[in-house]
Amino acid sequence: MYTAQNNFLLNCILYKRRPRLNQMVCVCNLLLLLLLVVEYKAGSSYYVLNLLQNGVCTEVSGLDVCGLGPAWWSALSASAGDLQVELHHKPQPSWTQTTAFLGEPATDYERSGWLCQIGRNLVIVVNSLSALKEAFIQNSAVYAGRSPIPILDWVTKGYGILMAPFGISWKQQRRFAVHTLRNFGLGKKNVEEGVAEEARYLIKEMLKQEGKSVCPMHLFMNSVSNIICSIVFGERYEYDDKRFAKLLEIINENIQLAGAPMARIFGLAPFIKHFPGPHHKVRHNFDSLKQFIREIVEEHRKILDPENPRDFIDAYLVEMTKQQSNEDSTFHEENMLLSTADLFLAGTDTTAATLRWGLIYMMDHPDVQDRCHEEIIRVLGFDRSPSMEDRAQLPYTHATIHEIQRCADLVPIAIHETTQPTQLRGYHFPKGTKVMPNLTALLADRKHWKHPDTFNPENFLDEKGQFSKSDHFLPFSLGESASRFMRLLALDVWSNRPQSLGIVRSFLKFFAGVKHECH
Tell me which of 81 and 434 has the higher pLDDT: 434
Say yes or no: 484 and 375 in one domain: yes
Torsion of the alpha carbons at 377, 381, 382 and 384, rounded to the nearest 10? -120
Q: Are residues 150 and 218 in the same domain?
A: no
Per-residue pLDDT at 207 = 85
Q: Are residues 36 and 55 in the same domain?
A: no
Report yes or no on 163 lying in a domain. no
Local confidence band at 66 (pLDDT 50, 70, 90 cut-offs): very low
Pick the last residue of a domain from 129, 156, 183: 156
Question: Given a cut of 90, is residue 511 above it in pLDDT?
Answer: no
Evaluate whether 350 touches 411 at the Cβ level (below 8 Å): yes
CB-neighbour burial class of residue 376 (10 A; exposed 0-12, middle 13-18, buried 19+): buried
29 or 65, which is more confident: 29
* Res. 245: pLDDT tops 60: yes
pLDDT of residue 199: 83
Residue 175 has pLDDT above 60, yes or no: yes
Are 151 and 190 in a shared domain? no
pLDDT for the residue 510: 44
pLDDT at 436: 87
* pLDDT bucket at 117, cuts 50 / 70 / 90: low
Q: Are residues 107 and 211 in the same domain?
A: no
Do residues 102 and 172 share a domain? no
- Residue 443 near residue 82, CB atoms below 8 Å: no
Q: Between residues 25 and 266, which one has the greater pLDDT?
A: 266
pLDDT digits (tens, 9 = 90+) for 383-399: 787 777 788 899 999 89
Confirm whether 162 is domain-assigned. no
Q: Is residue 299 part of a domain?
A: yes
Q: Where residue 118 falls among pLDDT bands split at 50, 70, 90?
A: low
The residue with greater pLDDT, 361 or 411, is 361
Structure confidence at residue 189 (pLDDT): 62
Residues 207 and 104 in one domain: no
In this structure, is residue 330 part of a structural domain? Answer: yes
**Residues 106 and 205 reside in one and the same domain:** no
Helices then strands, counting H and E runs in the chain, come out as 19, 12
* CA neighbor of 226 nearest in space, from 412, 351, 55, 79: 351
Note whether 214 and 150 are same-domain residues: no
Nearest to 387 by CA among 293, 476, 484, 497: 497
* Residue 463 within any structural domain of the chain: yes
Highest mean pLDDT among 191-205, 218-232, 319-333: 319-333
438 and 95 in contact (C-beta within 8 Å)? yes
Query: Is there a single domain that holds both residue 257 and residue 298?
Result: yes
Please give the residue that has the higher pLDDT: either 401 or 25.
Answer: 401
Q: How many domains does the chain have?
A: 3
Our CA dihedral for 440, 444, 445, 451, rounded to 10 degrees, sits at: 170
Higher pLDDT, 101 or 192: 192
Q: Region 193-216: what's the mean pLDDT?
A: 83
| pLDDT at 403 exceeding the cut of 50 | yes
pLDDT of residue 288: 93
Do residues 95 and 182 both lie within one domain? no
Among the candidates 105, 126, 156, a domain finishes at 156
147 and 207 together in one domain:
no
**Which of residues 108 and 370 earns the better pLDDT score?**
370
Enter the pTM of the model.
Answer: 0.74
pLDDT at 482: 52
Write down which residue in 98, 131, 156 finishes a domain.
156
Domain, as residue range, for 27: 4-42
Most confident of 35-44, 324-333, 342-351: 324-333
Look at residue 56 and tell me if it is in a domain: yes
What is the CATH number for 309?
Answer: 1.10.630.10
**Which residue would you say has higher pLDDT here, 382 or 84?**
382
In a domain, 228, yes or no: yes
Q: Average of pLDDT values for 475-501?
A: 47
Interval 253-288: pLDDT, tens: 888 888 788 887 888 788 889 888 888 999 999 999
Q: Give residue 94's identity as a one-letter amino acid code.
A: S
- Flag whether 261 is in a domain: yes
Quick one: pLDDT at residue 59?
34
* Higher per-residue pLDDT: 88 or 362: 362
Pick from 69, 79, 68, 145: which is nearest to 114 by CA?
68
